[in-house]
């Protein structure tokens, strides 16, 4: 996909803000220093070169920095390349936000967060309400800005809250279909099930996942999530409430089977709903993301996370990454 910078370029002349994805100092065949960069915005990414580079004249840069660039777009080996003539770091007064430069959610994070808070305020169980509210507050602003995974599903800025919000809508609908379910327990499980990813994953300045942390590699967000619930329950003097153990089980079992990280399968209906909706939402997102890269009537290459090819049929105009409109009762 073309970057926004390319789309807005006139006669090859480009000017705009970009995010540095990679930046290497190199030396040309003529022994002249230059910067070899990959720049990106919400439209895509482009290779870039800054020839005759001088730190004193041009400044120092690294991956994750936002810069304003001016230059010309040419073709090199069949691909677009930006030849930079001027570059500077973003200033606080510049009218650009990170959301303008990286893939983001189709709904505003603030809208999704408000819906999640409304769901919590609707709980009839005071212990579950206090516990869920506390855990969400502990997650802080990172919950609305960070992606849901290093790869595979919801790997955009705000992907974690988008995944949680979509699950909340789906799980709420299932509670309407199956009224024997404890709605508070299902929705609380959805809201807290992935919160420990904020410890499991190291995020870049963009909110996109960079890599797993050492703690994340060794313990993961399921075990960490259970620990967080136990600590929160102790802080709130809820240790003896049954709902604490039930919520811990939902988090521990939400990957369903040992090969995906859960040491124990869901043992009651509400845990099964959270595990099922989590898998469904992740796989649907993967499917839609993969099918965007092929035309109607074509099949995708084998999708690693799904272990199969996908077919984009002629009726797929209804497919959207955006969930249905939020409702007050969600």
Calpha distance 77→160 (Å, rounded): 37
Q: What is the pLDDT of residue 318?
A: 56
Q: Which of 86, 19, 36 is nearest to 59 (CA)?
A: 86
- Mention every residue, 6+ apart, whose C-beta is less than 8 A from residue 169: 323, 324, 326, 330
What is the rounded distance in angstroms from the CA atom of residue 268 to the CA atom of residue 257? 15
Q: Which residue has the tokens 């960079």?
A: 210
- Dist. CA 238–CA 315, nearest whole Å: 51
Q: Looking at the domain that runs over 103-318, which CATH code has it been given?
A: 1.10.3210
Residue identified by tokens 């190199």 is 26
Q: Which one of 16-30, 126-140, 253-267, 314-328 scores highest in mean pLDDT?
A: 126-140
- Proportion of the chain above pLDDT 90, given as a percent: 55
Q: Which of 25-39, 73-87, 295-309 has the lowest mean pLDDT?
A: 295-309
For CATH 1.10.3210, list the domain ranges present in the chain: 103-318
CATH class for the domain made up of 4-97: mainly beta
Q: What share of the chain is helix, strand, coil (3-state, %, to 5)?
A: 40, 20, 40
CB 228 within 8 A of CB 216: no
Q: Where are the alpha helices (DSSP H) in 100-146?
A: 109-121, 126-139, 142-145
Predicted confidence (pLDDT) per residue in 182-232, tens digit: 999 999 999 999 999 999 888 877 787 778 889 888 988 899 999 999 999
How far apart are alpha carbons 241 and 93 in whole angstroms? Answer: 50
User: 15 in helix, strand or coil?
Assistant: strand
User: Which tokens belong to 65?
Assistant: 């920095």
């Amino acid at each position: 996909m073309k970057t926004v910078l390319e789309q807005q370029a006139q006669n090859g002349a480009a000017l705009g803000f970009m995010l540095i994805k990679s930046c290497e100092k190199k030396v040309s065949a003529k022994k002249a220093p230059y910067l070899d960069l990959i720049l990106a915005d919400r439209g895509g990414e482009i290779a870039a070169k800054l020839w005759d580079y001088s730190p004193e004249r041009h400044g120092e840069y690294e991956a994750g920095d936002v810069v304003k660039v001016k230059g010309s777009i040419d073709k090199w080996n069949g691909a677009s390349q930006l030849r930079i003539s001027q570059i500077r770091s973003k200033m606080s007064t510049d009218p650009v936000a990170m959301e303008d430069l990286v893939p983001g959610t189709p709904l505003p994070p603030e809208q999704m967060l408000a819906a999640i808070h409304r769901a919590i305020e609707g709980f009839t169980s005071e212990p579950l309400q206090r516990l869920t509210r506390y855990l969400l507050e502990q997650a802080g602003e990172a919950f609305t800005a960070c992606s849901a995974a290093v790869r595979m599903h919801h790997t955009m800025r705000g992907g974690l809250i988008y995944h949680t919000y979509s699950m909340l809508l789906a799980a709420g609908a299932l509670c309407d279909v199956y009224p024997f379910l404890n709605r508070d327990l299902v929705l609380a499980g959805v809201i807290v099930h992935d919160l420990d990813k904020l410890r499991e994953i190291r995020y870049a300045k963009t909110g996109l996942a960079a890599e797993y942390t050492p703690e994340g590699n060794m313990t993961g967000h399921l075990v960490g999530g259970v620990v967080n619930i136990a600590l929160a329950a102790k802080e709130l003097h809820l240790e003896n409430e049954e709902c604490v153990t039930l919520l811990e089980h939902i988090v521990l079992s939400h990957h369903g089977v040992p090969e995906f990280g859960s040491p124990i399968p869901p043992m009651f209906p509400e845990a099964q709903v959270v595990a099922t909706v989590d898998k469904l939402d992740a796989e649907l997102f993967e499917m839609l993301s993969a099918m965007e890269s092929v035309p109607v009537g074509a099949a995708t290459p084998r999708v690693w996370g799904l272990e199969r090819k996908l077919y984009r049929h002629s009726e797929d105009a209804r497919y959207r990454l955006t969930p249905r409109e939020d409702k007050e009762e969600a």
